[in-house]
A = this chain, B = another copy of it.
Amino acid sequence: MIDKQIGSPAEAVREIFDGATVMIGGFGEAGSPIELIHALIDQGTRDLTVVNNNTGSGHVGLAALIENRQVRKMICSFPRTANSLVFPELYRAGEIELELVPQGTLAERIRAGGAGIPAFYTPSSVGTPLAEGKEVRQFDGQDYVMEYGLTADFSLIKCRQADRLGNLVYNKTARNFAPVMAMAGRRTIVQAREIVPVGAIDPECVVTPGIFVQGIVQVSDPLHESLLVAEGRSYP
């Protein structure tokens, strides 16, 4: 029988190794797999390359992972937000690398990686500093930039419901990067609010089919990043 359930976040992140590339779902706090990130902090895995749209806020979740000096490089589109305190400081001090990618190009690079597409052309960023050093090519008289597919050793994502086969559905705009990161991660680990019996999710409504998922851990009542930040909490 196939059963992708894992007992705890700690167990779920155990295989993540120093130097790994890790995609982390979420757009701001929506969809952020905060318990998996905290387990990764507990584990102390270092020298990570992290792919996320942002760099976290306050001193919890992704921001805490960065603050704990576990991240060598961020690949993201928007590294500063209202409560983004940790990354800017380390970046200015030259202690963390940044690869800045337009948000749509980031999403498409992740999807391409998951879909076996090594590279594609996009009009986004043509004529801007973010296209510098990249191959530009004309199609039908228009300029496009070549961008590479992006894969990861691990993807950590969050969902609303999962079954033991790894079929997933999400909650509203918390879906964001998770489905494409699930495709692009060689091992995709999901924290699910609820694990339901096989057959409970309508096959017409499955967003991420189980083939893209390698491990599921139930986190029924996940922490709310914005609440923790408002309370001035930090992790660990």
Enumerate chain A interface residues (CB-CB to B < 8 A): 108, 112, 115-123, 139-140, 142, 144, 148, 169-170, 172, 202-205, 207
Q: Which of B115, B169, B203 contacts A204 (CB 8 A)?
A: B169
State in angstroms the CA–CA spacing of A202 and B203 once bound together: 14
State in angstroms the CA–CA spacing of A17 and B203 once bound together: 38
Q: Which of B116, B122, B172, B205 contacts A122 (CB 8 A)?
A: B116
A117's closest neighbor in chain B, by CB?
Answer: B120
**Known A108-B115, A204-B205, A205-B205; further 11 A-B contacts with Cβ < 8 A:** A112-B120, A116-B123, A117-B120, A118-B121, A118-B139, A119-B120, A119-B121, A119-B144, A120-B120, A170-B204, A172-B204
Please name all residues of chain B whose beta carbon is closer than 8 Å to the beta carbon of A142 when the two chains form the complex: 118
Q: A169-B204, A202-B205, A205-B204 are in contact. Are A144 and B118 (CB under 8 A)?
A: yes
Query: Can you list 11 A-B pairs with a CB-CB distance of less than 8 A?
Result: A108-B117, A112-B120, A117-B120, A118-B142, A119-B121, A119-B139, A169-B204, A170-B204, A172-B204, A202-B205, A205-B205
Please name all residues of chain B whose beta carbon is closer than 8 Å to the beta carbon of A123 when the two chains form the complex: 116
State in angstroms the CA–CA spacing of A197 and B113 once bound together: 38
State in angstroms the CA–CA spacing of A27 and B115 once bound together: 21
Please name all residues of chain B whose beta carbon is closer than 8 Å to the beta carbon of A203 when the two chains form the complex: 172
How far apart are A184's CB and chain B's nearest CB, in angstroms?
15
How far apart are A52's CB and chain B's nearest CB, in angstroms?
22
State in angstroms the CA–CA spacing of A169 and B204 once bound together: 8
